[in-house]
Amino acid sequence: NPRLHESLEERRSSSKHPIATRLFELMMAKKSNLCVAADLTSLDEVIKLAESIGPKIVVLKIHVDILEDFSLAKMKQLRKVAKAHEFLIMEDRKFADIANTVQQQFHGGVYKISEWADLITAHPLAGPEMITHLFGDSSSDSRRTCGCVLILEMSTKNALTSQDYSKEAAKWGLIASDIVAGFVGQSPPDADFSGWIQFTPGVNSASKSGDSKGQQYCSPAEAVLERGADIIIVGRGLIKSSDVVATAENYRSEGWTALTKRITN
Ligand code: 5FU
């Protein structure tokens, strides 16, 4: 797959989504391909974490529906930190319903995800129209300000995301290139995805065995060199560590070294 050896500059120039373009730029500027999964139940704690590791990461991934102290005012604060330290905020909501419902989940409710998320995740389960209509009609601002990351494969044991499923969904994603900025996967797709960014979760340097609840782990180097990750997603491997800044630097350095090696090979 030629994508794996292309430079980030080449990839940036072939990206069709403004958020993917921005992310390639951030990766190059910060020499980082680290996304941290800030799976904490307090938004105050997420903000604190983001302030400390902000310089090392390019994306901060959250699950807004596990926060016990959510408010839009606090989300504004997190956005300020994201602006100051230059990283994107990904809401891992995994939208998976009909377009009419998903649009309301994205724009409305308590969380108003469209007001603060740079990236959101979605399962392509419901078909191509759900992807093309995810953000609303063609005049919706979100088409410029938010990128969809399609879940093509999951990291867990016995996931139902088969090769056929992900291949078909990837094709739909390519058609909706004004919506889709990248994908979550454990392997590089075979088609031309040069402008898309592959996010790979299930990365943990300390644990090889997974988490006893189906999660499976690999190292940053394996994720990048063998599984095709452009961006590694690290959760408990970092947030449970006693020195999150030192751990973030280790993951940044391991991930970036592997990416540089893959590109120059
Ligand atoms: F789409 C996926 C997937 O296939 N596997 C995942 O683990 C998403 N995730 C997310 O990445 C999951 O919801 C967590 O937020 C994070 C992994 O966290 P960990 O603590 O590194 O296992």
Pocket of ligand 1 (CB under 6 A): 37, 39, 92, 151, 154-155, 184, 201-202, 204, 211, 215, 233-237
Q: Which pLDDT score is estimated for 220? A: 98
Which pair of tokens denotes residue 126?
A: 């419901």
- For residue range 236-248, list pLDDT tens digits in order: 999 999 999 999 9
Active-site residue, 213 included: no
pLDDT of residue 53: 98
Alpha carbons 21 and 14: distance in angstroms, whole number: 9
What does the pLDDT look like over 185-220, one tens digit per residue? 999 877 678 899 999 999 999 988 899 999 999 999
Return d(Cα 74, Cα 16) in angstroms, integer. 32
pLDDT of residue 215: 97
Is the pLDDT at 113 greater than 90? The verdict is yes
Calculate helix-pair angle for 43-53, 244-264, nearest 10 degrees.
60
- Tokens representing residue 36 in the block: 């941290």
For residue 157, how far is its CA from the centre of ligand 1 (angstroms)?
A: 12
Given this model, what pLDDT does residue 191 score? 63
Mean pLDDT, to the nearest integer, of 42-52?
A: 98
232 forms bridges with which residues in the sheet?
34, 200
pTM strictly above 0.80: yes
Residue 94 falls in the annotated catalytic set: yes
Nearest CA owner, ligand 1 atom 6: 201
**How far is CA 67 from each of CA 61, 102, 120, 134, rounded to the nearest angstrom?**
13, 20, 17, 24
User: Residue 14 is encoded by which pair of tokens?
Assistant: 């072939």
Mean pLDDT of 21-34: 98
Q: Residue 121, SS3?
A: strand
Q: How far is the CA of 230 from the centre of ligand 1 (A)?
A: 16
Burial class (CB in 10 A: 0-12, 13-18, 19+), 155: buried
CB of 150 closer than 8 Å to CB of 131: yes
Active-site hit among 44, 97, 178, 211 = 97
Distances (CA, A) of 147 to 37, 74, 195: 17, 22, 13
Q: In the prediction, which pLDDT does 189 show?
A: 79
Is 178 labeled as catalytic in the residue annotation?
no
214 contact partners, CB below 8 Å, separation of at least 6: 156, 157, 158
| 101-115, 162-176, 185-199: segment of lowest average pLDDT | 185-199
Which tokens sit at 96?
């998976």
Lowest mean pLDDT among 50-64, 95-109, 177-191, 236-250: 177-191
Indicate if the pLDDT at residue 116 is higher than 70: yes
ipTM: 0.99
Show the tokens assigned to 205: 């340097």
Calculate the average pLDDT of the chain: 95
Give the nearest ligand 1 atom to 234 CA: 21
Mean pLDDT of 56-82: 98
Cα Dmax for the chain: 48
